[in-house]
Amino acid sequence: MSLRGVSISEGSIGANSNEVRAFGLVGSGVAVVGGAQLGIAYKLLRPSDATAIGFTAAYDTANSVNICRHISEFYRRAGEGVALHVILVDQAKKPEEMIDAAKLLAVEAEGAISDFAFAYNPAAGYVAANVDGLDSNVKAAIPVLNDFGAWADAHDMPCHTILEGRGISDTLSSLADLRALTVGAVDLEACKVTLVVGQDWTYADGLWPMGQKFADVGTFLGVVASQPWNRNPGEQATQNLTNVTKGIWTVGGLSNHKKYSEVFDSLETMDAKGYVFPIRYTGASGYWWNDGHVCAPIVIDADGKMNQHEIYYSHTIDESKRALRAVYLPEVKTTVVLDDDGLLPASKVDYYDAIGDIEFDKMAGKQLISGGTTTTDANSDLVVEKKLNVAFSVIPTGCVGEIVGTINLSNS
């Protein structure tokens, strides 16, 4: 018997509907004298909170890091009042070694963090080793971050992770296919990891040489925080990254510090491989994220079940779990009168089904999902195992990725 009360695991592939989401930033940096220290969790609600603990543009410049940059971009997109939990780790730590700090942040935030960004700021003198077009430390972190997602889920704190893909190769044809990764001889399905390799090129151009190879994970996290969790971060109507007046994102690029115009011919292939980067649309001014890809193949089985192959599908599973757990938790340890055969009465099965279905209806009413169904197992053993078995199926909202049509000239 588990002490968790309600455990909802993900089905195999063959929050409360009034949730208040919070976000996390785990970044390598330097302690601030009289301010932010390594290994300590800080909760921010606005840029001035970051300034108060020493995260300023001067801090970034003096220490050759981009912590203030990520925070300022997060709030530029998300707006003030959104909780951002921040923790610094030593610059000697690789992304895969930031997990203990992420776990601390998750617990300190009481499981409210839905998305974590991992910002990698190695110390001066760092020499990157390149593996399959990626910084070797970045590539090695992908399965570890996915395992962190599994750990968080097992502790009822489901979340998604966003990794800074700094320093990708200039030879873009050599980039690993993130939708076909392996660890040893085993296929990797890192549905809980998004790799961002895009940057505000003009901002990066003013940085130190190694800083020019950073990726704007703060911008991406802010976009995610600015909209409902089922929305695409690349939504054209609402998510233009460019602010011409402030000179922000006026030239997009990749983390090899190449401009959009220089890498244009490689972007279709990179999109198919699951990378996240800025794009432009002919006839529209500005830059947008291309999509919310994850480091996993697209899987749809014979029964129509699919994996979480985009960030918004990852969010759909996570936030559905949060919502369902909240409504089922009051049922834990309650007394249930069974039929003479020891099985659940039909009325009780209907009752448990209705709890889940009503929650799905609420989410569908808010246009967060398309629908969902609940199926309670009448054979659940509530006498010895004391376990109620319930199956849930959720239908996510769709997304227009491309509009395809034909057009002809007509004489009438």
Are residues 242 and 377 both part of a single domain?
no
Alpha carbon distance 374, 403 (integer Å): 34
Query: What's the domain range around 371?
Result: 333-412
Are residues 279 and 350 both part of a single domain?
no
Are residues 276 and 347 both part of a single domain?
no
Are residues 66 and 192 both part of a single domain?
yes
pLDDT for 80-95, tens place per residue?
A: 999 999 999 999 999 9
Q: How, if at all, do strands 198-200 and 193-196 pair?
A: unpaired
Which pLDDT belongs to residue 407?
Answer: 46
Residue 327 domain flag: no
Residue 32 domain flag: yes
Residue 68 CB-half CA count within 13 A: 21
Residue 326 domain flag: no
Are residues 152 and 242 both part of a single domain?
yes
**Domain finish residue from 289, 320, 346:** 289
Q: Has residue 13 got a pLDDT over 60?
A: no
Are residues 250 and 338 both part of a single domain?
no
Q: Tell me the average pLDDT across 75-79.
A: 98
Q: Are 122 and 91 in contact (CB under 8 A)?
A: yes
Are residues 155 and 272 both part of a single domain?
yes
Are residues 228 and 353 both part of a single domain?
no
Alpha carbon distance 286, 262 (integer Å): 17
Q: Has residue 329 got a pLDDT over 80?
A: yes
- Per the model's pLDDT, the better-predicted residue between 275 and 387 turns out to be 275
Give the phi and the psi of residue 196 in degrees, each rounded to 5: -100, 125
Which pLDDT belongs to residue 303?
Answer: 78
Q: Total structural domains in the chain?
A: 2
Residue 141 domain flag: yes
Are residues 114 and 58 both part of a single domain?
yes
Are residues 169 and 262 both part of a single domain?
yes
For 314, counting Cβ atoms within 10 Å of its Cβ (0-12 exposed, 13-18 middle, 19+ buried), the class is buried
Alpha carbon distance 412, 167 (integer Å): 56
Which pLDDT belongs to residue 66?
Answer: 98
Residue 185 domain flag: yes
Q: Are 167 and 149 in contact (CB under 8 A)?
A: no
pLDDT for 46-62, tens place per residue?
A: 999 999 999 999 999 99
Residue 107 domain flag: yes
Which pLDDT belongs to residue 359?
Answer: 94
Which pLDDT belongs to residue 16?
Answer: 31
**Domain finish residue from 255, 289, 323:** 289
Residue 409 domain flag: yes
Q: Which amino acid is at 105?
A: L
Which pLDDT belongs to residue 163?
Answer: 98
- Per the model's pLDDT, the better-predicted residue between 256 and 401 turns out to be 256
Alpha carbon distance 327, 213 (integer Å): 46
Q: What is the mean pLDDT of the chain?
A: 92
Which pLDDT belongs to residue 333?
Answer: 87
**393: β partners:** 373
Residue 10 domain flag: no
pLDDT for 345-384, tens place per residue?
A: 999 999 999 999 999 999 999 999 999 999 999 999 989 9
Between the ranges 95-99, 180-184, 349-353, where is the mean pLDDT highest?
95-99
Alpha carbon distance 332, 319 (integer Å): 20
Q: Has residue 169 got a pLDDT over 90?
A: yes
Q: Which amino acid is at 276?
A: V
